[in-house]
C-alpha cells in the first residue's frame, strides 16, 4: 500500500492517531519537504515516530516518483505531507502515478491552511479563489495573481494568499553549468507580499475611493505559523502590513472582500493594532 498522510500545521504531535499508526508500521517513510514546512525538523519527527524518515525534496518528488513508489506493490510506503495531502497538485500527480502502477493508495487527511485560516475570523464560505504570491527577482516580477485578488474583491470575497517558499532551489549559474549548487532557503513574509502588492497597485491603478479595487489603505490580515503555539495574527492596512514583522515562517496573507459581516469585523478587531483604523478601513 502507498499511504499519503497529512501531518497538520504545527509540530510532530499534529499527526492523526491513524496516521501515526501507519507511519510506525511502514517499510519506508518519506517526508515531503518543499511545498511547506513544520515548526520542527526531521530529527524531532523521527524521535516522535520512533523510526527513520527519508527527506523527499522537490527533485525527488518531481523526478524520482519511481524511486518513492518502488516495491509499493509488496511493501507499505508512507509519504508524509505538511497540512493536508491534497494541498499541492504535486501530490495528486503522485497518487495518479501509483494507480497507473496498480499500487493501492490510502489517504489520511489532516488540517490545512485552507481551512485553518478561519482562525482569523473571516468566514470560510466567503473566500474566493486561493492565490499564490511568488518571490520576485530583479528580472522576474509576475503579477497575474493580482487580477484574481481583484476578481474576488469585486465579488465581496476574501482572498487567501499563499506565500512563496524556496527550498533547495538551484542557482541560475548552477543550472547553466549543470552543476548542482543550491540557494539558501527563503520564505516570503507578509511584509514582502504586501510590498509586492503595493508595487503592483502603484503600477496598475491610481489610488482613489473606487470600491471595485484595492489600494494601499485596504484592509489586510497577516498570519504566521498557523496551528503552532506561537501563532500570530495581525490586522492593519496593506501599507502598514508591508512594514510588519510577524517573526519566523510560515506566513500567509488575507485580503478581505470589500464588505465584512459584523461578526467578522468584531472578531478581526482583537488582532488590530488600531481599532479606530480598522473601523475606518471597513467602511
Answer yes or no: is 251 a known binding residue. yes
Q: What's the pLDDT band for 207 if we cut at 50, 70, 90?
A: very low
Residue 246 annotated as lining a ligand binding site: no
- Of 283 and 144, the one with more pLDDT: 144
What is residue 171's predicted lDDT score, i.e. its pLDDT? 61
Instruction: Return the top range by mean pLDDT from 61-75, 81-95, 242-256, 262-276.
Output: 242-256
Domains and CATH numbers, the chain: 2-111 (3.40.1010.10), 114-282 (3.30.950.10)
| Better-scored residue on pLDDT, 247 or 274 | 247
- Residue 244 assigned ligand-binding role: no
Question: CA nearest 181: which of 191, 189, 172, 194?
Answer: 172
State yes or no: 226 annotated in a binding site.
yes
When comparing pLDDT for 43 and 90, which is higher? Answer: 43
Q: What is the pLDDT of residues 161-195, one digit of tens each?
A: 999 988 766 666 666 666 676 667 789 999 999 99
84 appears as a binding residue in the annotation: yes
Check whether 113 is labelled as a binding-site residue: yes
**What is the pLDDT, as a whole number, of residue 178?**
66
Give per-residue pLDDT as tens, 55-69.
888 777 777 788 899
Cut 0.85: pTM above it: yes
Say whether 22 counts as a known binding-site residue. no
160 pLDDT higher than 80: yes
pLDDT, position 173 = 65
150 annotated as belonging to a binding site for a ligand: no
DSSP string, the chain: -EEEEE-BSSSGGGS-HHHHHHHHH-SEEEEE-SS---SS-HHHHHHHHTS--EEE-HHHHHH-HHHHHTTTTTS-EEEEESB-GGGSHHHHHHHHHHHHTT--EEEE----HHHHGGGGS--GGGB---EEEPPP-SS----HHHHHHHHHHHTT-BEEEEEPEESSPBPHHHHHHT---BPPPEE--HHHHHHHHHHHHHHH----S-TTS--TTSEEEEEESTTSTT-EEEEEEHHHHTT----SSPEEEEE--SS--HHHHHHHHTTBS-HHHHHHHT-
Q: Convert the pLDDT of each residue in 75-131 to its tens digit.
A: 999 999 999 998 877 788 889 999 999 999 999 999 999 999 999 999 999 999 999
Mean per-residue pLDDT of the chain: 88
Does the pLDDT of residue 210 top 60, yes or no? no
pLDDT of residue 206: 57
Amino acid at each position: 500500500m502507498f499511504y499519503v498522510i497529512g501531518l497538520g500545521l504545527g509540530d510532530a504531535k499534529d499527526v492523526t492517531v491513524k496516521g501515526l499508526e501507519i507511519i510506525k508500521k511502514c517499510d519506508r517513510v518519506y517526508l515531503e519537504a518543499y511545498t511547506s514546512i513544520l515548526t520542527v525538523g526531521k530529527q524531532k519527527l523521527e524521535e516522535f515516530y520512533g523510526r527513520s524518515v527519508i527527506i523527499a525534496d522537490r527533485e525527488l518528488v518531481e523526478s524520482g516518483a519511481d524511486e518513492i513508489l518502488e516495491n509499493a506493490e509488496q511493501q507499505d510506503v508512507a509519504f508524509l505531507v505538511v497540512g493536508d495531502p491534497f494541498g499541492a497538485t504535486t501530490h495528486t500527480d503522485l497518487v495518479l502515478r501509483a494507480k497507473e502502477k496498480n499500487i493501492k493508495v490510502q489517504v489520511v487527511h489532516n488540517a490545512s491552511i485552507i481551512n485553518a485560516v478561519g482562525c482569523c475570523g473571516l468566514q470560510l464560505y466567503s473566500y474566493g479563489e486561493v492565490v499564490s504570491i511568488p518571490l520576485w527577482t530583479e528580472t522576474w516580477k509576475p503579477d497575474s495573481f493580482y487580477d484574481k485578488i481583484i476578481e474576488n474583491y469585486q465579488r465581496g470575497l476574501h482572498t487567501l494568499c499563499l506565500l512563496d517558499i524556496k527550498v533547495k532551489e538551484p542557482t541560475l549559474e548552477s543550472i547553466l553549468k549543470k552543476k548542482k549548487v543550491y540557494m539558501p532557503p527563503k520564505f516570503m513574509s507578509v511584509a514582502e507580499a504586501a510590498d509586492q502588492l503595493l508595487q503592483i497597485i502603484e503600477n496598475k491603478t491610481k489610488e482613489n475611493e473606487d470600491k471595485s479595487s484595492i489600494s494601499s489603505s485596504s484592509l489586510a490580515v497577516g498570519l504566521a505559523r498557523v496551528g503552532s503555539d506561537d501563532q500570530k495574527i495581525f490586522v492593519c492596512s496593506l501599507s502598514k502590513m508591508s512594514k510588519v514583522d510577524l517573526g519566523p515562517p510560515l506566513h500567509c496573507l488575507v485580503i478581505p472582500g470589500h464588505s465584512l459581516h459584523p461578526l467578522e469585523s468584531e472578531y478581526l478587531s482583537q488582532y488590530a493594532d488600531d481599532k479606530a483604523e480598522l473601523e475606518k478601513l471597513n467602511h
